[in-house]
Chains A and B, each alone.
Chain A
Amino acid sequence: MKNMGTKHVFTAGLWGAVCAVAVALIPGVRAAEVSEEDFKALKEEVRKLTEKMDRMEKVHETDEQIKQKDQEQIKQLQDKLGETQTTATEAARKADAATQVQPPIYRVPDDSGSVNKNFMILGDAEVQYAKFPGGHGTFLFADFAPIFLYRAGDRILFEAGFDATLQNGSNPNNGHDSGQTSSFDLSFAQLNYVINDYVTLAAGNMLLPLGTYAQRSAGGWVNKIPDDPLPRDLLPGTGIGAQLLGAIPFGQSGQILNYSVYGVNGPSSSDGTAAPDQLDLGGNVGLHTDNTVGNLHGRPSGGGRLGWFFPFGPPHFDLELGGSIMSGEWDDAGKHLWTGGAVDASVHLGPYLEVKGEYIRTKYGSTVGNINPSGWWIQGAYKLAGLRLQLPGINNLETVGRYDKINDHIGNDSERETVGLIYYFSNTLLLEGAYEFQHGTSQGDVMLLQLGYGF
């Protein structure tokens, strides 16, 4: 009976729940029943919402487009920024490179045609003003001395030097100076062939290595005084022949031992005899005046020089010593020898001070016995830039002094002191002034001014 009661309660409860649910649903069912006005309002609301949504979608699309454009612009700006940074970096790198010392780049010769063959003209020209005793001061075109150089390859060099001078002509009627005449002389012409690192062959009308003056100091602009030292007249400056020369370095400081040996036609006699005053140091070039060929005397002369160059310390501190000798027949009969020699020395004590000189001695047999001419000269020069004075123009000045003496034992025994000043307009254009105090000659003191240019 109890079980039946429980069951009825349960069932009742279940039906009650169902009814409650139904009652809960009834308002919703009831709510579905809306009025037409409400429907229209709702419809209008939906329409408005739809329109609003459309507008919002359009705005969104526009925003998207703007955003895309902005992104593209940002990308472009980023690209430009990157380029700018690259340019700045490159500029900084170039600036750094420009401030650094670049190692020298070996230059290839600019003209392939002149690598193996090259022709050049060097030389110098001088104009002088001279005042000799007993005469009026005058300008004179002292010398135009071009040197032609022709190089063929690495081993062959041909060089020839000329001297063009101008002087007064002569009136044929009375012998008085009239008009002008010019002379053009071949001062030297030699062919040089480099056989190897230690031997070079030279042949032709060569500048002779008797001392070093003829080869290195006898040019107009390289000579610090407008004329040559007196005792240089005792030696031949050139000779026709052949020569072997070379140099051997030793040590690490730049020491050099150099040599030259040669054979030339040698001195001759102006009249063929052995009279002491007929010695001719500049002739005997092989081709006679009658177009015959031959040495005026029997045998050629031979000679040589040995030199030692010793740099001691920084550049421009160096010493050079050398000894030269030459000997051979001189008269046509070949009975008398002429022998000449020189000891040369040159020292540089820094870039400002230079002292050099030669002692020259010769000896030759003659009809009156042996003649022994001799002489010596010493020259010192000092660039005033070494004084480190803050004066305008002083760094372009160089003082020079020379003492020279000659005694040829046939009538010329003289000596001379020269003081001079050089002004360098540039390294190749210089004005030299010199005053020479002469002794032992009938000629008095001489004043020389020379404007010289080396090219």
Chain B
Amino acid sequence: MKMIMQPKQPLIRFFLMGLAVLTLLGLAPALRGQDAKTNAPAKDPARTAEPETATPGNKEQIGSTNSAKASAEVKQTRSVAKQLTGAELYSMHCARCHPERYPNDRTSAQWKTVAMHMRVRANLPADHFRKLLKYLQENSGY
């Protein structure tokens, strides 16, 4: 008859406490960053003040025009938002599963082969793969 031994309670508690402490240590920078964002003044680009001299007849039209213009500005801001660079994608993806390999470890042609291998293993999008590969090849060793 199989006996199941009770786990060592103090050890589990110590282990879980340690994991909690380490989690808090890791979360602290993220929370500080989130706090800074929270304290920033809220921006609402869609809100615009209607001109006081506008007549009732065209007040709605002016308001809708201002709102559409503000929406277009928001869209334009989003469309020119910062694209992730090859270096940033390298930092994001290439140390998730193993210690990162340095770009100058391999030749340009070798990186192409390795990057394809990693593209399949990590199931990376084509755009990320191409930018990553370009970054690795530009900084390859020889």
Contacts and interface: CB of A to CB of B under 8 A. Distances in A.
Interface of A: 104-111, 114-115, 118-120, 122, 147, 149-151, 157, 159, 192, 194, 196-198, 200, 202, 207, 209, 215-217, 219, 221-222, 245-249, 252-254, 256, 258-260, 307, 311-318, 320, 346, 348-353, 355, 380, 382, 386, 401, 403, 411, 413, 415, 417, 419, 424, 427-428, 430, 437, 439-440, 454
A41 B22 CA distance: 125
Interface in B81-127: 81-84, 88-89, 91-92, 95-102, 107-110, 112-114, 116-117, 119-127
Interface stretch (B26-34, B44-52, B55-63): B26-34
Given A217-B97, A413-B2, A107 B7 contact: no
Contact of A202 (B102, B109, B120, B128): B120
A260 B113 CA distance: 21
B42 interface: no
B125 A380 contact: no
Contacts of B12: 403, 417
Contact of B125 (A119, A197, A252): A197
Contact of B97 (A120, A150, A222, A417): A222
Given A222-B97, A352-B26, A417-B7, A157 B84 contact: no
Interface of B: 2, 4-8, 11-12, 15, 18-19, 22-23, 25-27, 29-30, 33, 78, 81-84, 88-89, 91-92, 95-102, 107-110, 112-114, 116-117, 119-128, 134, 137-140, 142
B62 to A, nearest CB: 32
Contact of A258 (B91, B112, B123): B123
A350 B29 contact: yes
Contacts of A417: 7-8, 11-12, 15
Contacts of B91: 315-316
